[in-house]
Structure 1
C-alpha cells in the first residue's frame, strides 16, 4: 500500500508474497536490490547493506528482527526495508504484537516528519518502545527473583536465574541489531539525518535500552554469583557437619566393633558390671571428643539451628 506523506516523500507497506512485482518495480533503479527483492520475503535473519545509486544517492536496505518471543526464540518476526532520501519501503511488517503501536499510529507519526530516513527512525523508535515494554516486564521478574533469593532461596532459583538471563540475552540481541541499523543509516545519510529530531530521539531510546540491558545483566550476574556462593557454602557446611558427627561417634563405633567380636577368650564378657563400664566408657569418650572439638573451635555453629532470615548460619 502506498502512502504519500505531506512533505513529498513516500512510504510503501508491502506484502512479500503478494506485492513481489511491485517491490521489484520500486527497487528497479538499484541493480544490487534485484536479488534482495526476490529473497526479502524468505530472509529470516538480520541483514544490512548500503548501496549507491547512479545519481549518487545512497540506499539502505536490509532485514530486521523486530519482535521475538523470549520463551521460544524460534517464534519471531522479520521486517524487510528499503530506504532512500525520499522513499521508505517495508515488507511483511506486522505490528499486532506491539502494545503501544499500530500501523495507523505509525503512519500518523510519519506524516509529521520531512524525509523518508526520518520516517524510518520513527519506525525504529516504535520498535524500541516494544523492546522497552518487554524489558519492563523483565524488571518485574527480576525484582521477584531478588525477593525469592532473599527470603526463600529454594533450589529452583538457579533455573529461574538462567531463564531471566536467556530472556535478557534475547532483548540485548534485538537492541544491538537496531543500534547496528542506526549506525548504517548514519553512514548512508550523514548530517541530513543525524541533525533531525527523529534520529536524536531514537538514538536516546537506543541508549536507554542498552543501558537497561547492561544494568540488568549485572544484576543477573550478581544473583548468579550469589546463588553459587550460597550453594558452595551449603555444600561445605554439609560436609563439615558430616565430618564432625563422624568424629564424635567414632569411639562408639570403635568400642561397638570390639565388643561385637565372637572370640572365646574375652574377659569383659565375665565382668559383672561390664555392661555399665562399657556404657560409661562409650559415653565418656564420645562426650570427650565433642568437648575437644568444641575447644578447638571446629564445630562452629554446625549444631545450631539456622534462622530463616539468615543464609550463612
Structure 2
C-alpha cells in the first residue's frame, strides 16, 4: 500500500506540455466568477473564445479550471492570457515542488493540496496552480473537488471581505483554504500517532513498527511540502519592494504574512510529532529488548536449576560396578530428596536476590 496515490512523473523538458498526474480521465471544465461589492455573475461550461463576453476589467474575475489532461484546451487559455509555455508546463507537471514566480504581468504560484485518505494511512495529493494578474485570478486544479466550496458560497452570499477585496485577496483566501488541509492532515496523523504510541506499549506485533515507518514517511512528506511553501510565502513579502509585479494592494501583504506564520507553526508541530514518533519507535525496540531479556533471564534460571541436577544424574549414571550408594535400600529416595532440596534452595536464593 503506497503512502501517496501519485505515480512518479516523467522527466520532461521544461517546455514540454504533458500532464504528469493521475487524473487523466477527468474532463476539462471552466468556471468563472465575476464580482464586486454590489454584483455577482457566475458562468460555467463556456468556450475560451467567449471569455471576452464575460470578463469585466472593472471587477474581480476568478477563473477556476478543473482538469489538466486536455493540452489543446489549456493551450487556448494560455494563448488568450499570454501565458508562456514554461509556466504552462509547470502547471501541467504535477511533480514540481511548490514555487513562486513573478513577472510584470503575472504572479505564478503552485502548491500541493494534501488530505488524508479515509480508513487508510495514505495521503492524497493534488497540485493546484494560480496565476494572478490585474483583476484576474486563474486557478488550475487537476480534478473537480470541494477545496473551495465554502469560498464560492462566501462569494455568492457576500460573506466576509472577499467581495469587497480584489483578486490578490482572493488568492490569499484560496491559499488559506489549502493550508487548512495541511492542518486536517496533520491532525489525522497525530491521532494515528497517539494510537501507535499506545499500541507500542501494549503489543510487540511487528506490524506496529511497519506502521510507524509509514507515518514517518508521511511526516517527512508533509515537511518537504511545507518548506518550499514557507519559502514562497516569505518571498511574497519582497514583491512589495521589488517593483516587478504591482497588482497587489499594500494591505494584502499582511494576510500573506499570516500564511507564512501558519507554515512556521505547521513545521514546528511536525518536528514535535516526528520526535514523538521517534519515541514510539524507541519504546517499541525497548519493549522488545526488555521482553527478550525477560525470556533469557527465565531460561537462565531454569538452566541454573538443572545444572546441579544434571551433575547428580550424570554421576549416578556412570557404569561403575562398585559405587557405594548403589546398594543402599533407600539410595534412590535419598538422591531424589537431595535433588528436591537443591531445587527449593536455589529458588529461595534467587528470590532473595530478586533475580525473578
Please classify the TM superposition score into its range, dividing by the shorter chain length: 0.7 to 0.9
Match of 1:247 in 2: 304
Within 2, Cα distance between the matches of 1:106 and 1:180? 29
How far residue 66 of structure 1 moved from its aligned partner, in angstroms, is: 0.9
Distance change >3 Å, CA 264–CA 121, structure 1 → 2: farther
How far residue 207 of structure 1 moved from its aligned partner, in angstroms, is: 3.8
- 1:36 paired to 2:67: no
How far residue 250 of structure 1 moved from its aligned partner, in angstroms, is: 1.0
Distance change >3 Å, CA 67–CA 107, structure 1 → 2: farther
> Which of 104, 107, 110 matches 2:152?
104
- 1:138 paired to 2:189: yes
CA contact (8 A) 1:27 1:34 kept: no
Distance change >3 Å, CA 234–CA 283, structure 1 → 2: same
- 1:3 paired to 2:33: yes
- 1:226 paired to 2:277: no
Distance change >3 Å, CA 34–CA 285, structure 1 → 2: same
Count of aligned positions: 289
Where 1:134 maps in the other structure, the secondary structure is helix
Distance change >3 Å, CA 263–CA 48, structure 1 → 2: same
Where 1:114 maps in the other structure, the secondary structure is coil
Within 1, Cα distance between the matches of 2:213 and 2:154? 35
1:146-187: CA deviations, max 9, x gaps? 44456x345354344334433433433333343233123333
After superposing the two structures, state which structure 1 stretch, 203-212 or 120-129, moved more.
203-212
Which residues of structure 2 form unaligned runs of 5+? Answer: 1-30, 37-57, 243-247
How far residue 285 of structure 1 moved from its aligned partner, in angstroms, is: 2.9
Within 1, Cα distance between the matches of 2:250 and 2:229? 15
Task: Give TM-score scaled by structure 2 length.
Answer: 0.67
> What RMSD, in angstroms, separates the aligned Cα atoms of the two structures?
3.4
Which residues of structure 1 form unaligned runs of 5+? Answer: 303-313
Task: Give TM-score scaled by structure 1 length.
Answer: 0.74
Match of 1:168 in 2: 219
Within 2, Cα distance between the matches of 1:34 and 1:106? 33
How far residue 127 of structure 1 moved from its aligned partner, in angstroms, is: 0.6
Where 2:227 maps in the other structure, the secondary structure is helix
